[in-house]
Amino acid sequence: MSTSGHLVLCVDDETVGLQVRRMILERSGYKVITALDGQSGLSLFESHPVEAVVLDYAMPGMHGGEVAALMRERKPHVPILLLSAYLGLPPEITSLVNVYMTKGEGAPALLEKLGSLFQN
Amino acid sequence: MNLNQLNRILLQTLLLPVVFLLFVAGLLVWQVQNAERTVEHIQVANQNIATANLINALMVDEETGIRGYQNTSNEIFLQPYEFAIGPLEDAFAKLRAGVTAEHGDTQPIDELVAAHQRWVTTIAEPMIDTVRKGGNTRDPGDNLRGKAELDNLRAISGGIIDTEKQENALAVQRWQTQVSHTLYGVVAASLVSGILIGAFARNRLHAVTSAFQSTLIALRHETQSTYESEQRLLATLTSIGDGVVVCNSEGCVVLLNAIAEQLTGWSQQYSLNRSVHEVFVLADETTHDPLENPFDLVKRSNCLTSTLHAFLVQREGSELQIDSNGAPIHDRFGTLIGVVIVFRDVTEQRRTQAALMASEKLAVAGRLAATIAHEIHNPLDAVVNLLYLMKSGSTPEETQEFIQMASAELDRVTQISRAMLGMYRESRTPVALELKPIIESVLVLLERQLANAQVTVKSILPDHAIVTGYPAELRQVFTNLISNAAEASAPGSTIEILARLVAPRGRSLATARAGVAIVINDHGIGISPADLERLFQPFFTTKGEHGTGLGLWVSQGIVHKHGGTITVESRTTPEDPGTTITVFLPRGEAELPTS
C-alpha cells in the first residue's frame, strides 16, 4: 500500500468521524487536512496542493455532490472519493466522482479504494 | 269573511226592513192625517150648510111672525119673530166662525147680516110699530118692498148654502183622491221596499255564501297542499341515502326509512310505535358500553345534536360504525313534538380513513428512514474505524480515548433507535405522558433534517407538561409539524417551540379544560389565505410530488381524537413572514405511572 505522503483533503460535518478518519489516513502515511463543511473544504482545496479528496455526501448547506462538481470545475484532475451514509445515491452524483462508497464498509476498504486512486 | 263581518251583515238584513217599514208607516200616518183634515173640512162644510138652513128657517119664522101680527094685531102671533131674533144672532156668529174655519169668504155673511138688519130696521120694526099704533099696514108699496128685501135675503143665504155645498163636494172629492193616493202610495212603497229588501238581502247573502265558498275552496287547497308537501317530504325521507328514524315526543317510532330499516335491521312495520330505545341502540366505539340515545340527547338539549364514532347495535346484535345527528321537531308554539334521527354507515369511510392514516404513517417513516440511516451509519462508521485503529495497535491512553469515543457514538445510535421505536410503540389505551421527552425525541430524529436545512430549533419545554394520549401518535404529529416548519424555513432561521401549561378558565368548551398548549413558530414563507383554508383537507399539499397531502389531515385527526385543538396562524408580510401552529392537548384523566 502506497504511503508516499500524498496530501488528502477530508471533508465531513461529523466531528468524531472526521477525527477518526484522519487518524487512520495519517497512520497509513497520508498527509491530511480537514474541513467541517463544503465551503471551507473548497477554499482548502484551492489553497493547498491537494492530491485526493475524501468527501462526505450529507452535509448542511452544500452537499457532497455540489462540492464535488465545484472541485471538478477547478481542478478536474484531482480524484475524489465520495462517502455516504445513504445507500443508492443518484447516478448523476456518483458519476461525478472517481470512487463512491458507503460509510461503515470499514477502514481497510477505504484505504484500499483511496490507494487505488493513486495507482491510476 | 270573519265573524264580525258576518254579524254586521245579519244586522244589516234585520235593520233594513225595519227602516223601510217605519218609512212606509210614516207615509201612511201622514196620509191619514191629511185625510182627517179633509174629513174635518167636510164636517165643517156640513155644519155650515145646516147653520145656513137654520138661518133660513129662522128668517121664515120671523116673516111668519110679522105676517101673523100684521093680520091679527095679536101679540101672540109676533112670538115666532121675537123667538127667532136671539138664535139668529147665534147662527150668524156660528156660520161666520164655520166659514172662517174653512178659510172661506165671509163677505156674503156680512151682506146677509146687513141685509137682515136692513129688513129688521126698515120693514119689520116699522111694521110692528104701525100695528101697535093701530095704523094701516096694507100699503102695497111697503109690502112689495118687504118682499123684495126678503127675496134678497133668501138669495144671499141660498148663495151661501150653494157655496158650502160646493165646498163640501170638493172636500169629499179631495178625500177620495187622498184615500186612493194613500192606497197607491202604500202599495207602491210596500212593493219598492219589498224589492229593495229582497235585493239587499240577496246581495248580503250572496256575499256570505261567496265568502263561505272561498273559505271552502281555500281549505280544500290547503288540505291539498298539506297533503302534497307531506307526500313530498315522505318521498324525500324514504328515498334519501341516509337512515332516518322519526319518533314522537314520547320516543315512539313513527317512521323508519328504507336505509334505516336496512341499517338497524328493524322493518318499518315492526318498529312502528315501539320505543326508539329499542330500535336505535348506540354503543361506544372502543368500550362497547351503551351510549345515550340521540332522542334523549335532543329532548334534554332541545337542539341539534350529533354523535360521531359510535356503534349502532343492529337488531340481531351485530355492530355497525355510524355517525348520527338528532334534531328536534317543534310545533308552531315551540313545543317539542318529535325527534328526527339521521345517520349513516361510516364503516367503509372509517376503513378508508384508517388506510390513509396508515399510509401517511408509513410515508412519515419512509421520509425518516433516509435520515435515520444516515444517523446510524455515521456513528457506526466511526465505531468501525475506531476498532480498526485499536486493532492495528495503539497506546493504552489512545485505546482509552477510542473506547470513550466509540461508546459515545453507540449512545447516539441507541438514542435514535429508541426514538424511532417510539414512533411505532402502539398503546391500546391512552396514558398520561410528559410532552418534554416526546418532543425531544422527535427533535433527535429530525436533527439531520434540521441540520441539512440549516435551521436551529429553540425550544422551551417545561417539566410536568402532562397530557393524556397515545405517545406514538403524538410523536407523529410533532414530527409532521416540526418537519413542515423546517421545510418552510429559510437557511439560518430558527423555529421556536414553546409548551406551556393551560389552567382551566371560564365555561367555554375551548378553555374550560386544563392541558398543555404547544406553539410551533417558524419564520418561513408563510401560508397564503387561500391555502390556509384547505390546509387540513386530505390530499392538499404545497410540496408537489414530495408530499402526500395527508400530514396535517392526519395530525388534526390525531389531535381531535385526543380531545384537543389545532390552529394555524400565518403571516405573509414581507417584513416578518412565518407560521404559528398551536396544538392544545387536554390533561385528561389518566394517572401518571408511579415508577
Q: Which three cell numbers stand for residue B440?
A: 425531544
Across B18-35, average pLDDT: 87
The b-or-e profile of B93-116 (16+ CB within 10 A means b, else e) is: ebbbebbeebebeeebbeebbebb
Kindly indicate the confidence band of residue B593, based on its pLDDT and cuts at 50, 70 and 90.
Answer: low
Taking contacts as CB-CB distances below 8 angstroms, the residues of chain A near B453 are: 60
Asked if B533 and B452 count as a contact pair (C-beta separation under 8 A), the reply is no
How long, in residues, is chain B?
595
| Cβ distance of A104 and B384 shorter than 8 Å | yes
The CATH number of residue B493's host domain is: 3.30.565.10
Tell me which CATH code domain A7-119 carries.
Answer: 3.40.50.2300
Q: Which of B379, B384, B453 sits opposite A106 (nearest CB)?
A: B384
Q: Which domain holds residue B459?
A: 352-586
What CA–CA distance (Å, rounded) separates B259 from B242? 6
Instruction: Assess whether B423 and B454 both reside in one domain.
Output: yes
Predicted confidence at residue B497, as pLDDT, reads 95
Percent of chain B whose predicted confidence (pLDDT) is above 70: 95
Asked if B23 and B196 count as a contact pair (C-beta separation under 8 A), the reply is no
Asked whether residue B51 carries a pLDDT value surpassing 80, the answer given is: yes
| Cβ distance of B389 and A86 shorter than 8 Å | no
Helix (H, G, I), strand (E, B) or coil at B240: coil
Q: Which of A23, A102, A103 sits opposite B389 (nearest CB)?
A: A23
Q: Which of B373, B385, B452 sits opposite A85 (nearest CB)?
A: B373
Asked whether residue B229 carries a pLDDT value surpassing 70, the answer given is: yes
Q: Which of A63, A85, A108 sits opposite B378 (nearest CB)?
A: A85
Asked whether residue A2 carries a pLDDT value surpassing 60, the answer given is: no
Kindly indicate the confidence band of residue B278, based on its pLDDT and cuts at 50, 70 and 90.
Answer: very high
Q: Which three cell numbers stand for residue B240?
A: 334519501
Predicted confidence at residue B246, as pLDDT, reads 92
Instruction: Assess whether B66 and B164 both reside in one domain.
Output: yes
Instruction: Assess whether B369 and B407 both reside in one domain.
Output: yes
Across A16-40, average pLDDT: 92
Domain spans in chain A, listed from the N-terminal domain onward: 7-119
Considering only the C-alpha atoms of chain A, give the largest distance between any 2 of them, rounded to a whole number of Å.
35
Residue of A nearest to B408 (CA): A16
Instruction: Assess whether B363 and B335 both reside in one domain.
Output: no
Mind giving me the DSSP string for A63-102?
A: -HHHHHHHHHHH-TTS-EEEEESSS---HHHHTTSSEEEE
Q: What pLDDT digit, counting tens, does each position of B428-483 carry? A: 778 888 899 999 988 988 888 888 888 999 999 998 888 988 888 898 899 989 99
- Residue of B376, B377, B399, B449 best to disrupt the A interface, most CBs of A under 10 A: B377
Across B100-121, average pLDDT: 87
| Cβ distance of B491 and A61 shorter than 8 Å | yes
What CA–CA distance (Å, rounded) separates B298 from B302? 5
Is B451 touching A (CB cutoff 8 A)?
A: yes
Kindly indicate the confidence band of residue B508, based on its pLDDT and cuts at 50, 70 and 90.
Answer: low
Predicted confidence at residue A120, as pLDDT, reads 63
Q: Tell me how close the Cα of A19 comes to any Cα of chain B, in angstroms.
A: 9
Cβ-in-10-Å burial (0-12, 13-18, 19+) of A60 comes to middle
Predicted confidence at residue A51, as pLDDT, reads 93
Predicted confidence at residue B183, as pLDDT, reads 87
Instruction: Assess whether B53 and B102 both reside in one domain.
Output: yes
DSSP B593: P
Helix (H, G, I), strand (E, B) or coil at A8: strand
Of the candidates A15, A92, A101, the one whose C-alpha atom is nearest the C-alpha of residue B382 is: A15
Instruction: Assess whether B174 and B60 both reside in one domain.
Output: yes
The continuous run of DSSP H or E covering B501 comes out as strand B494-502
| Cβ distance of A103 and B452 shorter than 8 Å | no
Predicted confidence at residue B348, as pLDDT, reads 87
Q: What pLDDT digit, counting tens, does each position of A29-68 carry? A: 999 999 998 999 999 999 999 999 999 988 877 888 899 9
Most confident of A70-74, B145-149, B286-290, B452-456: A70-74
Kindly indicate the confidence band of residue B511, based on its pLDDT and cuts at 50, 70 and 90.
Answer: low
Predicted confidence at residue B8, as pLDDT, reads 87
Instruction: Assess whether B369 and B339 both reside in one domain.
Output: no
Q: What pLDDT digit, counting tens, does each position of B524-582 carry? A: 888 888 888 888 887 778 777 667 777 888 888 889 888 889 999 998 888 889 999 99
Is A88 touching B (CB cutoff 8 A)?
A: no
Alpha helices in B102-139 (DSSP H): 107-119, 125-133
Asked if A119 and A113 count as a contact pair (C-beta separation under 8 A), the reply is no
Residues 43-62 in A contacting B (C-alpha not used; CB under 8 Å)? 58-61
Asked whether residue A3 carries a pLDDT value surpassing 60, the answer given is: no
Instruction: Assess whether B337 and B430 both reside in one domain.
Output: no
Residue of A nearest to B450 (CA): A60
Of the candidates A35, A19, A118, A92, the one whose C-alpha atom is nearest the C-alpha of residue B406 is: A19
Residue B520's CB is within 10 A of a number of other CB atoms, namely 23
Across B32-58, average pLDDT: 89
Single-letter code of the amino acid located at B403 = I
What CA–CA distance (Å, rounded) separates B485 from B494? 10
Predicted confidence at residue B13, as pLDDT, reads 83
| Cβ distance of A24 and B388 shorter than 8 Å | yes
Is A7 touching B (CB cutoff 8 A)?
A: no
Taking contacts as CB-CB distances below 8 angstroms, the residues of chain A near B392 are: 27
What CA–CA distance (Å, rounded) separates B256 from B261? 6
Asked whether residue B80 carries a pLDDT value surpassing 80, the answer given is: yes
Predicted confidence at residue B243, as pLDDT, reads 92
Predicted confidence at residue A19, as pLDDT, reads 92
User: Domain total for chain B?
Assistant: 3
Is A29 touching B (CB cutoff 8 A)?
A: no
Give the contacts of B381 (CB within 8 A, at least 6 positions apart): A17, A85, A103, A104
| Cβ distance of B388 and A17 shorter than 8 Å | no
Taking contacts as CB-CB distances below 8 angstroms, the residues of chain B near A21 are: 385
Instruction: Assess whether B317 and B367 both reside in one domain.
Output: no
Instruction: Assess whether B405 and B341 both reside in one domain.
Output: no
Instruction: Assess whether B505 and B467 both reside in one domain.
Output: yes
Helix (H, G, I), strand (E, B) or coil at B487: helix
Identify whether B595 is part of a domain: no
Residue the block writes with cell 261567496: B210
* Beta-strand pair B456-460/A80-84: unpaired
- Cα separation values, B408 from B79, B319, B379, B385, B395, Å: 190, 54, 9, 14, 20
Identify whether B69 is part of a domain: yes
Across B125-137, average pLDDT: 84
Asked whether residue B509 carries a pLDDT value surpassing 60, the answer given is: no
Q: Which of A21, A58, A61 sits opposite B374 (nearest CB)?
A: A58
Kindly indicate the confidence band of residue B10, based on its pLDDT and cuts at 50, 70 and 90.
Answer: confident
Q: Which three cell numbers stand for residue B351?
A: 376503513
Q: Which of B378, B448, B491 sits opposite A103 (nearest CB)?
A: B378
Q: Which three cell numbers stand for residue B168?
A: 163640501
Predicted confidence at residue B204, as pLDDT, reads 84
- Cα separation values, B403 from B301, B380, B400, B409, Å: 70, 13, 5, 10
Q: What pLDDT digit, counting tens, does each position of B297-353 carry? A: 999 888 888 888 789 999 888 888 999 999 999 999 989 999 999 999 988 888 888
Model ipTM value: 0.91
Predicted confidence at residue B428, as pLDDT, reads 73
Instruction: Assess whether B527 and B378 both reside in one domain.
Output: yes
Predicted confidence at residue B553, as pLDDT, reads 84
Q: What pLDDT digit, counting tens, does each position of B234-267 carry? A: 888 878 889 999 999 999 999 898 899 999 999 9
